[in-house]
Amino acid sequence: MGMGRSDKKRIVLKIGSNVLTKGTDHISRGKIEDIGRQIVALQDIYEFVIVSSGAIAVAKQFVNLESNGIAITVKQALASIGQPHLMRIFQESYRDLGLLTSQCLLSYSDFEREQSKKNIVNTINVLIANNYIPIINENDTVATDEIQFGDNDKLAGLTASLLKADLLIIATNTNGICTKESVENKTFQTISEVIDINVLDEEIVEEISTHGTGGMKSKVQAAKIAQHAGIETWVVNGLEDDFMSNAINDKVPFTRVKPEKENIEKI
């Protein structure tokens, strides 16, 4: 029945809007290429599923929508305009690197029904087996959860859990999660390893990133979902080049949230 998984480690990579725009008002093709080059360099050992934000940020480059109405509806409309552009940028950049891409739009209700969960897993496994990188985003036209809160972080946690990933990497614009005190005094000390995730709730500073809607709270929430499924989460600084390769080789500061179960083999 169906295709078995390869023996590659499966990474779910979540890229926030603040990473994709490098903190500007435009999607950075250079950043999308950087991620693609890393995937090429790592693809003998790892297989990738990308959860990407950025549809709204892309749309803002093209349009300024007239809105007398509700802000959330405008954001949904922007997402609808931006999503095909975002996919086109991925497709063009990755084709040049010899990588194939595919689009999967999911909403939260999909994770609540057994049949749709099976369909998601089967579809994504077939895509990966055929060397297509699934690029997942929230189906923003029908769903508003992540627009209002979370910048696809929770979606990434649920996806990693459903796809039995070996590792969830959340790429953001800081060197992982820093202690609250160090953020307040601007020294930015990264918390390098966490097992008791509740400790992080104390350390989160309530800030919201420019383009994103998440801040750290939703990243901790995503890590909790992954940890519950026995999956390790890394919160890394995606603004740096080679951020995944560098984290894998322990060359940069980032936060590891370890699974509670002792018997999980090391990544």
Distance CA 190, CA 174 (A): 9
Distance CA 170, CA 234 (A): 6
Show the tokens assigned to 217: 């709270």
Distance CA 238, CA 244 (A): 8
Show the tokens assigned to 170: 């959340």
Confidence of residue 165 (pLDDT cuts 50, 70, 90): very high
The structure's pTM equals 0.91
Average pLDDT over residues 58-76: 80
212-225: per-residue pLDDT in tens? 445 788 899 999 99
What is residue 263's predicted lDDT score, i.e. its pLDDT?
Answer: 46
193-203: per-residue pLDDT in tens? 998 988 888 88
Average pLDDT over residues 43-66: 91
Percent of residues in the chain assigned helix, strand, coil, to nearest 5: 45, 20, 40
Surface-to-core class of residue 63, CB atoms within 10 Å of its CB (0-12 exposed, 13-18 middle, 19+ buried): exposed
92-115: per-residue pLDDT in tens? 999 999 999 999 999 888 999 999
CB neighbour list of residue 60: distance below 8 Å, 6 or more residues apart: 25, 78, 82
Q: Is the pLDDT of residue 204 over 90?
A: no
What is residue 188's predicted lDDT score, i.e. its pLDDT?
Answer: 86
Q: Are strands 232-237 and 255-257 parallel, antiparallel or unpaired?
A: antiparallel
Q: Is the pLDDT of residue 170 over 90?
A: yes
Contact at 8 Å (CB) between 197 and 257? Answer: yes
Distance CA 121, CA 158 (A): 12
What is residue 107's predicted lDDT score, i.e. its pLDDT?
Answer: 87
233-253: per-residue pLDDT in tens? 999 999 999 999 999 999 999
Average pLDDT over residues 2-17: 86
Q: How far is CA 237 from CA 18, 172, 177, 223, 241, in A?
A: 11, 5, 10, 16, 9
